[in-house]
Structure 1
């Protein structure tokens, strides 16, 4: 019985340490994301006009597809969060 309790206690300690490491990593990544968002916000918008009408249309379609994929990913992420909270 003592070995089982000791093993469970060790597993708990490892899990707590892992949570601490992951929390620190998440905070670092969030800070980096914020820095990158600020850097992107300072950039001038790109000018694609020299590419021509056809290239502009292709770019527009790609941006629409990216928006749809991003929306679907956000919905799926929210579903995972909701499931985890349940």
Structure 2
């Protein structure tokens, strides 16, 4: 017997996989643009994915690290030019 979720409904494991991947992608993107928003979002998604027990633990940890790095980059640039944002 093979049990599957009804069409249109996602299982909890797929949700956590998506959260882990999304945190990684948002953290990576946050190094370039909108780090004030994408960094915290990556941190929250990674934390929730890890708390729910994602099988993609490595990606969630990378997303968490990149989210923290986003905020550190923001702070470094804020100290350098005295503004809340930075650009190339």
- Tell me the TM-score range normalised by the shorter chain: 0.3 to 0.5
Structure in which a larger fraction of residues adopt helix: 1
Q: TM-score, normalised by structure 1?
A: 0.33
Name the structure, 1 or 2, with higher relative contact order (CA <8 Å, separation 6+): 2
Q: TM-score, normalised by structure 2?
A: 0.32
